[in-house]
Amino acid sequence: MEQDPIISVRGLRKSYADTTVLKDLSLEIRRGETAALLGRSGSGKSTLLRCLNLLEDWEQGEILLDGRPLGFHRGKDGQLARWSARQQAELRTRIGMVFQQFNLFPHMTAIENVMVGPRQIRYLSEAESRVIATRLLTQVGLLEKSDQYPAHLSGGQQQRIAIARALAMEPTILLLDEITSALDPELVGEVLDVVADLKERGLTMVFVTHEIQFAHDVADRVFFLDEGRVLESGPPAEVLDNPRSEQLQRFLARFAAHRGHRPRHEPAASR
Amino acid sequence: MDQIIRSLPVLLEALQQTLVLSGLAVVFSALLGFAIGEVSTLAGPVAGWFVRRYIELVRGIPLLVFIFLSYYLLPAVGVQTEPFSTAVMSLVLYFSAFVAEIVRGAVQSIPQNQINSGLALGMRRLKVERIVVLPQALRIAVPALLNLCSIVVKSTSLVSIIGVWELTYATREIVMRTVLPFEFFIFAMIIYFVVCYTIVRASKMLERKMALAHR
């Protein structure tokens, strides 16, 4: 794996009306790595992901993608100018995002959901789009559900299709925002299998998760966020097995207490 | 009965006029109302504010007053029109506000998550509207819009007051000649009912069909 950062976040600050969500947050994501963001709710994990996709503005600091500032460019007068809507949209084609609530388009079948990116944004032909969608539905193990509407699919199936929909844009980075939090426990495994499979394919992934064991097994590095800052980071074996800060110790203890020790992530039998 | 049969050609012509009037009012109200509704949600807070005031204003005025107002106001501001065009214009201006309100409500009922999902794929906002929001919103709006259709058909009877010849006007003419108010008004009532009931049935069928296609 190359060591150069694909994403550098430097001193990011973001606040809503009266709360500061990100306080001088800095981190680097390396090309091809799988990074897990952990932390209590409100620690800024999801906000950070949304900033990376420009779905959220920030007040201070910068994000570099491949060394170039994200969301802003230097104008002729030397001042920083915000990207146009076209530039923002273009960036989002390269950074895929999967949401907690799947957000499939309910008026489209599974395959239409996956085809919409290639067809409407990459302007590929109907036939080419169908080939891509078919391949991706096969990859997530749902080809036989191609013509079903989302309402007829389980949460786990919907989420796998949402991943396929994001992959259809052939992004270089995939952001996964608590993608198993809205799922019944027995459906979590099938979605995590898909993510583990993507890691094998070398896609750069940043995911926010509450599945500590999964982060432990799959992430190359974990970042523990606390009150809008990165408090601890490093390989999961170091950070999760030897938490240094009191906050991370408490965070991990709460998981152990509330959830019991989850079994190691096993591939689901269905795939 | 004999009288009705004798008047039938005239009444059918009058019905045709009512349908033309309704058709024009429905089509142009739909177009204008859709545009207004979309502007009120997409074009930013200022435009949205003006559009909402317009909608509130129109909804607070009786249609009959609105028709009279158009009838006297348009020539006063230099627009020379015949009663028929005035009627179409006032119906369109009036009902487009209701269409706008229905469209706005339906569009706003689509969750922000759906919009974010489209944006995250790399769509521009207008494309999100076209591909993600509107197909869902219009499906929601169709029953209310078809209901409005039948209200438009019934409301065309009001424009007889400014001298537009349609079913109600023609019926009144015949009643004055034949002095058979019950027979002819009941007959007109049945015609209005059949037209509107057809729209309501069609709307129910469409609703069921869309529900099937969706689930």
Express each pLDDT in B88-103 by its tens digit: 999 999 999 999 999 9
List per-residue pLDDT tens for chain A, 271 residues long: 446 799 999 999 999 888 889 999 999 999 999 999 999 888 889 999 999 999 999 999 999 999 889 998 877 787 888 899 999 999 999 999 999 999 999 999 999 999 999 999 999 999 999 999 999 999 999 999 999 999 999 999 999 999 999 999 999 999 999 999 989 988 999 999 999 999 988 899 999 998 899 899 999 999 999 999 999 999 999 999 999 999 999 999 887 766 544 545 555 444 3
Is residue A107, in this structure, part of any structural domain at all?
no
Interface test with A, best of B121, B127, B140, B215 (most A CBs within 10 A): B121
Rounded to an integer, the average pLDDT of B193-203 is 93
Q: Do B113 and A99 touch (CB under 8 A)?
A: yes
| Angle between helices B134-155 and B181-214 in degrees, nearest 10 | 170
> Per the CB < 8 Å rule, is B121 touching A121?
yes
A61 located within any domain: yes
The ipTM, to two decimals, is 0.89
A15: containing domain: 5-101+172-259
**Spatial contact of A111 and A76, defined as CB atoms under 8 Å apart:** no
Tens digits of residue pLDDT in B113-167:
999 999 999 999 999 999 999 999 999 999 999 999 999 999 999 999 999 999 9
pTM for the model stands at: 0.87
**A155 in a domain, yes or no?**
no
Q: Please tell me the predicted confidence (pLDDT) of residue A269.
A: 45
Q: Chain B residues contacting A, CB < 8 Å? A: 113-114, 116-125, 127, 131-132, 135-136, 139, 214-215
Q: Is the CB of residue A87 less than 8 Å away from at least one CB of chain B? A: no
CATH of residue A63 = 3.40.50.300
Give contacts of A90 with chain B, Cβ < 8 Å. Answer: 122
Nearest CA in chain B to A162: B117
- Chain A neighbors of B121, CB-CB under 8 A: 92-93, 96, 116-117, 121, 165-166, 169
Residue A253 lies in a domain: yes
Q: Which of A177, A130, A137 is nearest to A157 (CA)?
A: A137
**What CATH number did the domain enclosing B102 receive?**
1.10.3720.10
Q: Look up tokens 């020790």; give the residue.
A: A261
Location of structure tokens 């973001």: A14
Share of chain B above pLDDT 70, in %: 98
Count of structural domains within chain B: 1
CA-nearest of A116, A112, A114, A104 to A147 is A112
User: Cα separation of A19 and A228, whole Å?
Assistant: 10
Write down the residue that tokens 């348009």 correspond to. Answer: B74
Residue B50 pLDDT: 87
Residue B53 structural domain: 2-214
What CA–CA distances, in Å, run from A180 to A44, A130, B135? 18, 27, 28
Our count of domains for chain A comes to: 1
Q: Say yes or no: A216 contacts chain B, CB-CB below 8 A.
A: no
| Burial of residue B55, with CB atoms counted within 10 A of its CB: 0-12 exposed, 13-18 middle, 19 or more buried | buried
Domain presence at residue A136:
no
Q: What percent of chain A has pLDDT over 90?
A: 75
Q: Is A176 strand, coil or helix?
A: strand
Q: How many whole angstroms separate alpha carbon A62 and alpha carbon A27?
A: 11
Measured between CA atoms, the residue of chain A closest to residue B126 is: A85
Burial classification of residue A195, based on how many CB atoms lie within 10 Å of its CB (0-12 exposed, 13-18 middle, 19 or more buried): buried
Q: Is residue A138 part of a domain?
A: no
Positive or negative, the Cα torsion across A190, A195, A198, A200? Answer: negative
How far apart are the C-alpha atoms of B149 and B152, rounded to whole Å? Answer: 5
Return d(Cα B96, Cα B28) in angstroms, integer.
Answer: 8
Q: Do B116 and A117 touch (CB under 8 A)?
A: no
Q: How confident is the model at residue B31 (pLDDT cuts 50, 70, 90)?
A: very high
| Amino acid sitting at position B16 | Q
Is the distance from CB of A230 to CB of A199 less than 8 angstroms?
no
Buried b (16+ CB within 10 A) or exposed e, A248-268: beebbeebeeeeeeeeebeeb
Q: What is the pLDDT of residues B47-80, one digit of tens each?
A: 888 888 988 999 899 999 999 999 999 888 888 8
